[in-house]
Amino acid sequence: MVKLDFTNIFKVGDNGLTKAEFKSTRKILSSYLDKIEKRKQGFYSVIDDASVVSKVEQFAKGQKGKFTSIVVLGIGGSALGTICLAQSLKHLYENEISKRSFPKLYVLDNIDPVMMKEVLDVVDLKKTLFLVVTKSGSTPEILAQYFYFRKLTDGKKLDALKHFVFITHPKVGLLRKIANEDGITAFDVPENVGGRFSVLTVVGLLPAALIGINIKNLFKGAQEMRDSFLNRNFDKNLPFQLAVVQYLLAKKGKNINVMMPYAQKLIRFSDWFRQLLAESIGKAKDSDGKTVNVGITPINALGVTDQHSQNQLYSEGPNDKLFIFLRVKKLGASIIIPLLSSDASVSYLKNTSFNNLIDVEYQGTAQALTQNKRPNLNITIDQIDETHLAQLFMLFEGAIAFLGEFFNINAFDQPGVELSKNLTKKILLAQ
């Protein structure tokens, strides 16, 4: 199970928390869980529906050997979870591996025409399955992409029923209408799961299964953390503890969260987290309709890479951040560093490994931040696999649900995104 270490939050004086402040919140945990339950969100219950896993696995089995590429057309919550799953759980250079058991995956979460054109240089349309993912079924970017690729495949006389699969709202939206009219296979996104909470629905599960990720284990890990999320005992509720630290520190002016994994494969976890935190907590109105303009700004960083990019700012710049480090006990490879010089200046590399070096660099960074009175915490997993990654997804989703209650806002809507979507359409119509 994921481990949370708040030691350095308690070591930075007024810039952090006292243990008493941290624990003072234990009395509100139960009432916040009641409030969350009243919001009727499905992100923590859909992971009990084993029929989804069977359906997705069966579909993926049926596609085996038919395609060399999967192209996902989706954006925001319809893309970031999939990108994270692939980046974390597959080979770092997966698409470059020549002897393959599974198709290559391309996620087109932008509408830059260069991307649309250049992907055609690496996929063979005859051997490509397009997953069109949009919960609303009406996101202009994704509809535009669908029309573009559909015209191309139609032009090559390819059967749309074989080359397109939709993942969308069970009832509403243009995509659902097209699915019904054209007979295209369409999987349902549960109505009560918002886009950025949907990685463990068919939105993430289907592309994952198609590229050989064990989706049963994703559910297993998520269920373990969900049980912690629903636990009314403060000491056992990790998502609540995390939210407490994020909230109380935001109240003390640390309203920027830097997510910094010390594992190359988790680089995209930060992108997934960035959307989850930004869209869920950045809100104008509270639940009573009062204007509050709250939010916590997420920043992505990667250990050790960004020690040589952002660390100067983090150590000496404004003390307005909470640092969330992700650590992995057993990285997927173990390499001893060969010491090829007897020069005393590199003697510290004697008898050590890249594994030790990366961890010691984390320790150095965390200690430096602590000495500079910068609050930081670490979240450690044993290894990067389906179970642990899903625990992380559920840890942060649960924490966000609690944060919403702390800020007294609805963490599950996104009126700001909707507004810009509608204005884009209006401008296009007026052209």
Q: Which of 135, 265, 279, 321 is catalytic?
A: 279
Judged by CB under 6 A, the chain residues 92 through 131 that form the site for ligand PA5 are none
* 421 annotated active-site: yes
Nearer to ligand PA5, 146 or 229 (CB): 146
* 350 annotated active-site: no
Contact range with ligand PA5 by CB under 6 A, out of 2-10, 71-79, 284-292, 317-325: 71-79
Q: How far is the CB of 134 from ligand PA5 (least distance, A)?
A: 3
> Is 78 an interacting residue with respect to ligand PA5 (CB under 6 A)?
yes
Residue 367 C-beta-side C-alpha neighbours within 13 Å: 6
> Which of residues 16, 190, 194, 261 is near ligand PA5 by CB under 6 A?
194
Contact range with ligand PA5 by CB under 6 A, out of 82-90, 135-143, 234-242, 281-289: 135-143
> Is 134 an interacting residue with respect to ligand PA5 (CB under 6 A)?
yes
Q: How far is the CB of 173 from ligand PA5 (least distance, A)?
A: 8
Contact range with ligand PA5 by CB under 6 A, out of 188-196, 233-241, 290-298, 383-391: 188-196
> Is 174 an interacting residue with respect to ligand PA5 (CB under 6 A)?
no
Nearer to ligand PA5, 128 or 138 (CB): 138
Report the C-alpha gap between 218 and 122 in whole angstroms: 30
Q: Is the Cβ–Cβ distance between 367 and 11 less than 8 Å?
A: no
> Is 196 an interacting residue with respect to ligand PA5 (CB under 6 A)?
yes
- DSSP run (H or E) holding 88: helix 80-89
> Is 143 an interacting residue with respect to ligand PA5 (CB under 6 A)?
no
Contact range with ligand PA5 by CB under 6 A, out of 3-11, 81-89, 192-200, 257-265: 192-200
Report the C-alpha gap between 166 and 72 in whole angstroms: 10
Work out whether the CA dihedral 367, 369, 370, 371 comes out positive or negative.
Answer: positive
> Which of residues 15, 52, 76, 229 is near ligand PA5 by CB under 6 A?
76
Indicate the DSSP class of residue 329: S
Look up residue 350 and give its two tokens: 């004697």
Q: How far is the CB of 276 from ligand PA5 (least distance, A)?
A: 8
Contact range with ligand PA5 by CB under 6 A, out of 46-54, 133-141, 314-322, 324-332: 133-141
> Is 375 an interacting residue with respect to ligand PA5 (CB under 6 A)?
no
Q: Which residues contact 192 (CB under 8 A, 6 or more apart)?
A: 40, 41, 42
Q: How far is the CB of 413 from ligand PA5 (least distance, A)?
A: 8
User: What is the DSSP secondary-structure string of 338-389?
Assistant: P-----GGGGGGTT-BHHHHHHHHHHHHHHHHHHTT--EEEEEESS-SHHHH
> Is 82 an interacting residue with respect to ligand PA5 (CB under 6 A)?
no
Nearer to ligand PA5, 279 or 405 (CB): 279
> Is 142 an interacting residue with respect to ligand PA5 (CB under 6 A)?
yes
> Is 145 an interacting residue with respect to ligand PA5 (CB under 6 A)?
no
Q: Is the Cβ–Cβ distance between 30 and 232 less than 8 Å?
A: yes
Q: Is the Cβ–Cβ distance between 83 and 268 less than 8 Å?
A: yes
Q: Which of 11, 23, 162, 421 is catalytic?
A: 421
Judged by CB under 6 A, the chain residues 387 through 426 that form the site for ligand PA5 are 414, 417
User: What is the DSSP secondary-structure string of 263-328?
Assistant: SGGGHHHHHHHHHHHHHHH-EEE-TTS-EEEE--EEEE--TTGGGGTTHHHHHHS-S-EEEEEEEE
Residue number closest to ligand PA5, CB atom:
195
Strand 128-134 and strand 69-73: the pairing is parallel
Q: Which of 40, 151, 156, 308 is catalytic?
A: 308
Report the C-alpha gap between 144 and 62 in whole angstroms: 28
Indicate the DSSP class of residue 173: S
Look up residue 309 and give its two tokens: 């990019």
> Is 75 an interacting residue with respect to ligand PA5 (CB under 6 A)?
yes
* 316 annotated active-site: no
User: What is the DSSP secondary-structure string of 107-166?
Assistant: EE----HHHHHHGGGT--GGGEEEEEEESSS--HHHHHHHHHHHHHHHHTT--HHHHEEE
> Which of residues 195, 239, 295, 398 is near ligand PA5 by CB under 6 A?
195
> Is 278 an interacting residue with respect to ligand PA5 (CB under 6 A)?
no
Supply the residues annotated as catalytic: 279, 308, 421
Give me the residues that bind ligand PA5 (CB under 6 A), please.
75-78, 134-136, 139, 142, 194-196, 279, 414, 417
